[in-house]
Amino acid sequence: MTKSKDDGQLTRLADAARTGGITKREFIRYSVLAGITASTATGLWSTQAKAAPKKGGTFRWGVHDGNTSDTHDPGTYVTRQMIFLAHQYRSYLTMINPDNSLGPDLATEWEATPDAAQWTFKLNPNAHFGLSGNKVMAKDVVASINHHRGEKTTSAAKALLTDVTDVMAADDHTVVIKLGRGIADLPWLMTDYHLAICPANDDGTIDWQSGDGCGPYKIDSGEFGVRWSLSRNDGWHGEGAYFDKVEMIILNDPNARQTALVTGDVDCVSLVELKTLSLLERNPNIKVDNIPSGAAITMPMFCDTAPFDDVNVRTALKLAMDRKEIIEKIAFGAATIGNDFHLSPVQPYWPDDIPQHEYDPEKAKSLLKKAGHDNLKISLSTADSVFSGAVDMCVLYAEQAKKAGVELQVVREPNDGYYSDVWLKKPFTAVSWGARPTPDVMFTLAYKDDAAWNESHWHNEKFNKLLLEAKSELDDTKRAEMYREMCLLMHDDGGTIIPFFNNFVYARRSNVMHGDSVAASWACDGARAPSRWWFEDA
């Protein structure tokens, strides 16, 4: 066979692999006949098959951070269980694509007025709710957004929608959102995990209790904190949903999670125990995804509670941390150093010229003395479920802080109920934040003075003024300057220590395939692994 014939044969084989026209065994056999080795053919199959997702099988997903107190109410979403589950059985107006660009979900297109004070979203007419089978209508979107608005709402997303003045159904598949001021990022904001679309009730509220949704899968059965069983939603309007079924298993214990993956009891885990990362990477049956992100580990201090109400104490505690040692020993290098403002280098508008808070126990001790503390005694709450190594990180920080004259007691809290009973309740905690698509979303959720999730109780008048101005600023250069100034205010005055921005480190069995890119908004491809991934031999 001549080389041109060989190339033609391989091209046809590659096309057949992409379209699913031949099996892996057939691809390898024909490739060998075409003159290449079996090992090379196997590698080629893996490359080509990625472009041809196959439907079938049950995807077993071991997920960390799930509580028995979690709910289906999108206004209460906070744990990974709630967030990850929501992305399977519910949809959003827009979504973050695997390449981290903005793409359509329920909305097929959107446009704004020149001042960005009114946005129109066109809905996919083929979208259906999985349990009821009803079509998704504009009234469902209106009710779902309004669930997070108004004085009576208890939703954590209320702060995101304070500028919304009206949400209207222009027709059955068109939604108009009016704003009191322009918001250039509104389509990005619609990806926030709280803003899931639920069926509307006749009175304008939403039916969140039933667990009905218009996502790629529908819930068959389940129990919060334990397990969920889902099957493909035949009315799914988008691409993907390659697996027939999804089993979502809550595995808060890192050892149990790791063992389940290695033994093949699950096909993927949402968080890897970093201590054993190198061992997993050497396992031929395991593939590890290590993705830099804007996800952050934070340590908020209540700025209205002594001793954290003194900026000298807050700054001292920032300087009492050796972040480089923490990244080396706790994150095993799978992180980017934090500098106490909530933007990472992989996110837009990151300011690269703000001086790094370096480990300086002597300066920290001097600041504490200025605040009237010769020996500061405080407690720091954490839990294993916050992230892999959270307790160890806090213990190491306590050792580092001793040199600054800080006696730090690490309180190991129960995993179950951590975000309902500890976070926002106790004055100094360790917290894991997922990435947000824009600075405005993150700052509005956690640093705006009246935000429900203002975890440090920080109130800075200048910061809040800049936040409002930046929302409607369409000049990108001016907007970047505003965000830099806001980051500097967090750095110098804020009540949040940010040790690092953690990579999303998760793992899957080697027969689980995904595309060339995975989203960095949440672990497991933006929490959409079940709808975007597939089995090599389904």
Q: Return the CATH number at 530.
A: 3.40.190.10
- Extract the residue ranges of the chain whose pLDDT is less than 50: 1-5, 19
Query: Can you give the pLDDT at residue 43?
Result: 63
489/516 same-domain check: no
d(CA 288, CA 523): 12
Report helix, strand or coil for 498.
strand
320/300 same-domain check: yes
414/342 same-domain check: yes
d(CA 72, CA 70): 7
Report helix, strand or coil for 470.
helix
Query: Can you give the pLDDT at residue 19?
Result: 47
d(CA 416, CA 316): 32
| Count of domains for the chain | 3
490/342 same-domain check: yes
439/312 same-domain check: yes
Query: Can you give the pLDDT at residue 52?
Result: 76
Sheet (strand 496-502) strand order: 335-337, 496-502, 296-300, 431-433
d(CA 191, CA 326): 32
CB 357 within 8 A of CB 491: yes
303/363 same-domain check: yes
Query: Can you give the pLDDT at residue 348?
Result: 86
What pLDDT, in 10s, does the model give residues 176-223? 999 999 998 999 999 999 999 999 999 999 999 999 999 999 999 999
Report helix, strand or coil for 45.
helix
Closest CA to 230 of 61, 6, 352, 385: 61
Domain span at 353? 296-502
Note the pTM of the prediction, 2 decimals. 0.79
The answer to whether residue 269 sits within a structural domain is yes
Query: Can you give the pLDDT at residue 42?
Result: 62
The answer to whether residue 194 sits within a structural domain is no
Residue 141 backbone phi and psi in degrees, to 5:
-70, -45
d(CA 507, CA 268): 6
Query: Can you give the pLDDT at residue 16?
Result: 56
